[in-house]
Structure 1
């Protein structure tokens, strides 16, 4: 049974039992400050379990995409662990409890295939329960009919569930399947969890826990507002059972990736045995890493995560690079992602069609990341080789741990590769020093994580306001001012009842016309005015869903809870914000018209008069393309297109082709903003103009890279565009005056002056070349004998041009007796980098020396040329001398 069919049957079974099918939330845990990624099926339902929000349904069922990365370095070492997995779950929010949850699980597992079940043998199933949960035991034995000898009581470590942080929790009852004697010892889950594999966990969610040190030591703060059910059945685990394979790496969604890696590398999964019985063979570990990480990368990019240097982007980058590194260790030297990622797409598309429809965007990010990492590997190898050369030159036998850490931390250079290359050159690495620096880094990361885990507590005051007073009456779409009452105030996160002049506090109003920052749009500015009091609104946010908070500075008078105020948005601010947000939609539509549908927005920011938009694209836009985007945008403005905003079910919005921002989460009803009908149709909660002409003129001010496969375009609109164009005009007029030409001739005049500068530079180059070559005779005369080869290693004066360096190397070579094998190496420093040119004469070539091979040897594969003359560079300038030593060593150690 294919995994997609297992998923379909799970959803259908619970839908038939009155559950609403809820789509998987995106992998980035945007609404939870404790998590980078969704790591459990119940995460999107936490507010309902805690009673912070009323659940839209009494019963729900979902198959949630999940990511777990704490032990990413362990992935592949066993066949159990993976980073991406799917969790089947059925949920009750104060509706049914144990008496219905347990039989429903049993029915699906044991019902025949013809009846829509999984057809498992009831005699193979076991259940575990929490120590004192007699009620669950009674249901298992008397209702389901499970024999008592297959019901096991277990402690808090195994049968009490929470997310590992403050939040909902409760005892649980797990279902295990006996896979048979070939998997281990008889005796149930307490004896052997390899033979008896957990496939289902019924969590009886009825308590709230506080902070603790581990899975067993935490306080129970009290009961939840209602008794709930949260179940989880790992989709990959049940797939391995129903497909008759040993583990998740052999199911239909993963095994094809291993097979493709086998095809690329010539390795065979499971063909080799480790010399340590308890460990997997390194080849098998790497094949599992490739399969797991490529699939994870596909799903993360599909949900809007892009490779970066922090947060979610860094996790994705690390995952992709581990996969790339693993396949190179297996012997594949080409670009692997174009081979592997399509296989992952085909595996996952039956369950997630969007990875196929959106594959072009996904592939651009994945392929670009591989290009960037391969460049990193080349650069890291060069730096490592130079560091090893310096270590040996200084008589050392061990590479400093700080150097290994720098390679790992700065360049992403794997420590195992550092160890391997150092060993090849007869050196060891200060691994303890490296580990100490890594520990410091992890300690800092844990401190950051601990800070994030206070998120729920930090929001408790806002949730209390929401519980007591209900949602904010938010009227930002319909008016710029309204009367309001102050419901609560916070100062530095703590409740307060008064605020004096000069104090900055957070104010909660019963009604507000202020737009809260979201969807890339900055928050409104304005004033709160009451009797003898005025406060400036600095920022507006939504700390919890349906509640709006205002950060204000009291200008005069005193604010206090219960006070009546008049809330007024700065009219000019809102006009500019509407222009910028609608302008963002126009630029996005123009990008897609000019570049094609693959140019999808991946992020945006707009404030009055200014907008920036990040979009998926590889390579800089040409000036002509930028001008075309600007022209299309202004034509849309001139056309005075109608702008509308309508609320509709998300399914209808998708049918209309409305574009959703990657990484955002949406309710079942969404707001669709259209400019010119289908020309621009996006899901958006921002404020907008009524017709496109109100945006005013638009000028593109910049375009740049913001990461592999991602570009950023910036523009100004309205009055800011007028000001920008006026400044550009004034600059042109000033330059025209300085050059004493009409403005329409300025370009020709500048081009003429540039030509003159180039001519002057050429003359200077000739003079520099003459000065450099003046010493070629002395260098040739001072050639060192290295195993019968005349070797000249020289450094050109700083700033010497590349052409002059090549000329010097060839001139020195020409002044050495042609009968004598000669190698001439000349380095130069410029712009903080060092380069090298190597010239080899005919006699040296006969002796087996090649300029091209020497350059690649010195630069660890970089550089190019032929046997006579070759060059390379790009290393730090202070490595120039080390390059000359490296070439001399290669000459001395030639066969």
Structure 2
């Protein structure tokens, strides 16, 4: 067995199955097309339509083969505790959709393992489902000794998507790592919980359709779905027993060693676990961001944020000071960028996001320490901190349990780990309920109506790039989501044509509207969508006659509406270029909305855009518009587009052939939308607003052409109205308004000072009337002072104190804008003599239906019942005099 790098194993696998007739396919995005899945967690996810026979491979291929990037976080708290669990991993796979089956798969798996990888055959063990005699015999005929074969039950060797649906037996291939790695029991065998027999390849034979009564009905097409963990086979080929000792992950562990000064496997297990966690989580975060996921508090964004924060916390435990995640990103780009160019293209964005998250998390950690300190307040040595508190620190603030335990241990306080474990399990149950697990969910829900139409009638031919109208044939009709033969006048439904000029909502551009008419009918198209890639569906209201399947039709879009949409769509491309020019290459489009009357453009950026930057973006965008650059479109391969430096939109998924929109070289983006022929057609772009819409995410809203002119005219009208009111010319209005505002502010300040001076005189009179308590012998002022603020009441106390000496107190009340206010205050000497402002306020505040508090020297209260002010003062006299 020869040492092979991870990259060499990946290429060997893909080349082998490519040589057998499988089409090599790129890894799909970590954002799956399937809404039932949160993240892509298995190689078969992108091939679901093929397994269901809703899409078909070219006849030149017998199947597909991929190296799929995957993220799974079901066992996130186990990552780092051993050498097996990972959140990010690569799954090597080959898939057949009815064109080869068990015999070929088993033969190729054995051939690849022994003759390509060079694994000793006597080290290989296979398991089969207990009733699968066919696969048992196939392995025997391939020369596998019976002592190396074993049968396992349904839990281990039978794959199901759910109670019903596609299912079938599995055959797993194990590598014997030797008795020194295992549990030592003489009956140790594949399937044992120890690490001696390492499963590295699972072959699923999807040949049945599970029925509700538990019976298995043979599928018309038998499928192959295999998965080989790249990190696991790399560990075998590199002679190590841990994924973290393989070339890529060991290199990332090395980054942590350099930053922390720790040496892996030479210190504490806690340090080793921390090094493993950061190595793993940094890969997940890098690839998730590159595929369009940004940190947030829900969904995929929450998963990303949790991974990042867990890695950052582990770095702090290792003693790494300051931001450090960028070192990991650079290493990942270096060692994996050749296979996954998206992490190279998005490097600046990834660095910006992780750096911003490190900064934000620093503040969160400080808040967590405050939360923990509050929880510990009043506790003493020997007490036990609630496990619920520890879980909140873990889940909300990112504190690992061991960190909370360490901080508590310094105070001699234990942590209720049993309750913490219950909280963790409850969270996992909620997660399992919210999203189904791994690839199984990809089979669970599927509405086949639209896919069935696509399979039956084929893809819709789109002629809308060059035509506003065209002749067509009605090939399908729907009403309330079900297929029908006809739609009558007054009914709402959907029409599918064989060809269309209507653009279906996609890439942020909304769908076209218009008419579809033919002999004896007319339908108004209210929206156009593409529920299945390649299928255009026109949502209509039939205005006249009746439309039936098979009838000839004439389809025409609403031209002026489309023209406005085209201008706005092209403007988003120019704004994208301008933002990258002004703010930096890390800026990536993260979403858009292109309508006839406006456009919305979301982009990844890490701080607010200044007014000066926004003005510059608008200036250079309009400069390009007015330079009248021609706009061209062409199709090319995705690989060629990448080599040309064409911008791929953040988080977007592309096929092998892509369409490029080229604005005379200064802006080149992959885009399937409709655009102007020359930038001058846009006329003008005017930015209306810029704001934050999430962590690391900003939004611009803008208008173009006649809508931009209308916006500017409206602003000018407002300016003229203001200028007329101020009695100046429009261009002088701002200066006059600022000058008048400053004068008004000065006048208000002077009026306030005069009012406070007058009040101070009143306060002196009040102080002169101070009453001396009979008990303590110091003067106390109890008075009502209306039309003053809470701060003015405090000023009144200052006046009273200056007039009455070192030992005095007051209870003041007033009404300010119908709101009652109370203040009690006393000098230190008065407090020493028994005065307590907090107790006084607590006693009298109910009279005004209020509450408040403070220290013995000063306390305040507000309330709802101003009519109770006099009662409150009477209560104060009762207590103090």
* TM beyond 0.5: yes
Q: 1:536 to 1:76 in 2, by over 3 A?
A: farther
1:313 maps to which of 281, 285, 301: 301
Mapping for residues 39-78 of structure 1, pairs under 5 Å: 39-56=41-58, 57-78=61-82
Q: Partner of 1:188 in structure 2?
A: 189
Q: Distance in 2 between matches of 1:458 and 1:22?
A: 23
Q: Partner of 1:746 in structure 2?
A: 733
- The total of aligned residue pairs comes to 774
Q: Distance in 2 between matches of 1:9 and 1:767?
A: 88
Q: Distance in 2 between matches of 1:604 and 1:881?
A: 52
Q: 1:579 to 1:356 in 2, by over 3 A?
A: closer
Deviations 1:234-291 (A, max 9, x none): 1100111112222112212112333333444455544567xxxxxxx44443332222
Does the Cα contact within 8 Å between 2:394 and 2:401 map onto a contact in 1? yes
What displacement does 1:601 show? 1.9
- Most deviating of 589-598 and 683-692: 589-598
Q: 1:205 to 1:523 in 2, by over 3 A?
A: same
What displacement does 1:354 show? 4.2
Q: Partner of 1:712 in structure 2?
A: 699
Does the Cα contact within 8 Å between 2:57 and 2:63 map onto a contact in 1? no
What displacement does 1:427 show? 7.2
Does the Cα contact within 8 Å between 2:161 and 2:444 map onto a contact in 1? no
Q: Tell me, what secondary structure is at the counterpart of 1:182?
A: coil
1:550 maps to which of 529, 538, 545: 538
Q: 1:174 to 1:466 in 2, by over 3 A?
A: same
What displacement does 1:489 show? 4.2
Mapping for residues 51-130 of structure 1, pairs under 5 Å: 51-56=53-58, 57-111=61-115, 117-130=116-129
Matched, 1:449 2:435: yes
Q: Distance in 1 between matches of 2:517 and 2:408?
A: 70
Q: Distance in 2 between matches of 1:200 and 1:731?
A: 71
Q: Tell me, what secondary structure is at the counterpart of 2:703?
A: strand
Q: Distance in 2 between matches of 1:418 and 1:661?
A: 42
Q: Partner of 2:873 in structure 1?
A: none
Q: Partner of 1:780 in structure 2?
A: none
Matched, 1:26 2:57: no
Q: Tell me, what secondary structure is at the counterpart of 1:161?
A: strand
Q: 1:163 to 1:670 in 2, by over 3 A?
A: farther
Q: Partner of 1:17 in structure 2?
A: 20
Q: Tell me, what secondary structure is at the counterpart of 2:358?
A: helix
Matched, 1:695 2:682: yes
Q: Tell me, what secondary structure is at the counterpart of 2:658?
A: strand
What displacement does 1:449 show? 3.1
What displacement does 1:221 show? 5.6
Q: 1:732 to 1:562 in 2, by over 3 A?
A: same
Q: 1:399 to 1:177 in 2, by over 3 A?
A: closer
Mapping for residues 837-852 of structure 1, pairs under 5 Å: none
Matched, 1:621 2:627: no
Q: 1:146 to 1:398 in 2, by over 3 A?
A: closer
Q: Partner of 1:839 in structure 2?
A: none
Q: Partner of 1:38 in structure 2?
A: 40
Q: Distance in 1 between matches of 2:371 and 2:226?
A: 51
Q: Partner of 2:151 in structure 1?
A: 153
Does the Cα contact within 8 Å between 1:458 and 1:493 map onto a contact in 2? no
Deviations 1:459-493 (A, max 9, x none): 21112222332223333323333455554444554
Deviations 1:150-192 (A, max 9, x none): 1222222222235569765432222111101111145430445
Does the Cα contact within 8 Å between 2:161 and 2:443 map onto a contact in 1? no
Does the Cα contact within 8 Å between 1:466 and 1:547 map onto a contact in 2? yes
1:732 maps to which of 713, 719, 727: 719
Q: Distance in 2 between matches of 1:733 and 1:433?
A: 67
Q: 1:348 to 1:650 in 2, by over 3 A?
A: closer
What displacement does 1:534 show? 5.0
Q: Distance in 2 between matches of 1:674 and 1:97?
A: 46
What displacement does 1:36 show? 2.0
- Most deviating of 515-524 and 559-568: 559-568
Q: Partner of 1:278 in structure 2?
A: none
Does the Cα contact within 8 Å between 1:205 and 1:229 map onto a contact in 2? yes
Q: 1:478 to 1:435 in 2, by over 3 A?
A: farther
Point out where structure 1 has 5 or more consecutive residues left out of the alignment. 112-116, 212-216, 274-280, 778-796, 818-877, 886-895
- Most deviating of 490-499 and 660-669: 490-499
Does the Cα contact within 8 Å between 1:165 and 1:453 map onto a contact in 2? no
Q: Distance in 1 between matches of 2:215 and 2:361?
A: 46
What displacement does 1:761 show? 6.6
Q: 1:309 to 1:9 in 2, by over 3 A?
A: same
Q: Tell me, what secondary structure is at the counterpart of 1:42?
A: helix
Q: Distance in 2 between matches of 1:562 and 1:705?
A: 50
Mapping for residues 637-676 of structure 1, pairs under 5 Å: 637-676=625-664
Does the Cα contact within 8 Å between 2:313 and 2:399 map onto a contact in 1? no
Q: 1:424 to 1:152 in 2, by over 3 A?
A: same
Q: Distance in 1 between matches of 2:286 and 2:614?
A: 30
Q: 1:203 to 1:71 in 2, by over 3 A?
A: same
What displacement does 1:399 show? 7.6
Point out where structure 2 has 5 or more consecutive residues left out of the alignment. 768-787, 808-850, 859-881
Q: Distance in 2 between matches of 1:741 and 1:639?
A: 36
Q: Distance in 2 between matches of 1:454 and 1:351?
A: 26
Q: Partner of 1:237 in structure 2?
A: 232
1:261 maps to which of 236, 256, 264: 256
Q: Partner of 1:197 in structure 2?
A: 198
Q: Distance in 2 between matches of 1:51 and 1:769?
A: 84
**C-alpha root-mean-square deviation of aligned residues, in Å?**
4.1
Q: Tell me, what secondary structure is at the counterpart of 1:293?
A: helix
Does the Cα contact within 8 Å between 1:4 and 1:350 map onto a contact in 2? no
Does the Cα contact within 8 Å between 2:36 and 2:445 map onto a contact in 1? no
Does the Cα contact within 8 Å between 1:372 and 1:708 map onto a contact in 2? no
User: Normalization by structure 1: what TM-score?
Assistant: 0.77
Q: 1:243 to 1:433 in 2, by over 3 A?
A: closer
Q: Distance in 2 between matches of 1:636 and 1:742?
A: 32
Deviations 1:607-627 (A, max 9, x none): 113222222322222222212
What displacement does 1:562 show? 5.6
Q: 1:576 to 1:137 in 2, by over 3 A?
A: same
Q: 1:523 to 1:441 in 2, by over 3 A?
A: farther
Q: 1:762 to 1:164 in 2, by over 3 A?
A: farther
Mapping for residues 437-476 of structure 1, pairs under 5 Å: 446=432, 448-449=434-435, 457-476=445-464
Q: 1:437 to 1:482 in 2, by over 3 A?
A: farther
Q: Distance in 1 between matches of 2:751 and 2:409?
A: 48
Q: Distance in 2 between matches of 1:614 and 1:20?
A: 36
Q: Distance in 2 between matches of 1:816 and 1:293?
A: 64
Does the Cα contact within 8 Å between 2:10 and 2:67 map onto a contact in 1? yes
Does the Cα contact within 8 Å between 1:50 and 1:168 map onto a contact in 2? no
- Most deviating of 680-689 and 377-386: 377-386
What displacement does 1:686 show? 0.5
Q: Partner of 1:4 in structure 2?
A: 7
Q: Distance in 2 between matches of 1:270 and 1:879?
A: 58
What displacement does 1:437 show? 7.9
Q: Distance in 1 between matches of 2:760 and 2:338?
A: 67
1:326 maps to which of 302, 306, 314: 314
Q: 1:483 to 1:726 in 2, by over 3 A?
A: same
Q: 1:405 to 1:135 in 2, by over 3 A?
A: closer
Q: Partner of 2:328 in structure 1?
A: 340
Q: Tell me, what secondary structure is at the counterpart of 1:32?
A: coil
- Most deviating of 603-612 and 401-410: 401-410
Q: Distance in 1 between matches of 2:264 and 2:760?
A: 59
Mapping for residues 360-371 of structure 1, pairs under 5 Å: 360-371=348-359
Q: Tell me, what secondary structure is at the counterpart of 1:580?
A: helix
Does the Cα contact within 8 Å between 1:14 and 1:90 map onto a contact in 2? yes
What displacement does 1:439 show? 7.5
Does the Cα contact within 8 Å between 1:386 and 1:879 map onto a contact in 2? no
